[in-house]
Amino acid sequence: MLLAMQKMAHSIRSMVGQVITATSQLTGAAHEIAVVTKQTAVNLEIQKDDLNLASVALSVLLLLI
């Protein structure tokens, strides 16, 4: 009985260790996703500004023709 309890305790400790490792990996992945998402938003804003500028330039060009 004692041996079975020791094996069960070891198994639980092992599972807890695996959960801790997985949680740490997920935290790192979530951080990476957040960084990429923020950079994507910045890049999209830059593209929007560039498109607006191009639109204004084309409008002025059409007025001059």
Sign of the CA dihedral with 48 first, then 49, 50, and 53 last: positive
Cα–Cα distance measured from residue 24 to residue 30, given in angstroms and rounded to the nearest whole number: 10
How confident is the prediction along the chain (65 residues), in pLDDT tens digits per residue?
Answer: 999 999 999 999 999 999 999 999 999 999 999 999 999 999 999 999 999 999 999 999 999 88
What pLDDT does residue 44 have? 98
pTM attached to this predicted model: 0.68
Amino acid, single-letter form, for residue 10: H
Amino acid, single-letter form, for residue 13: R
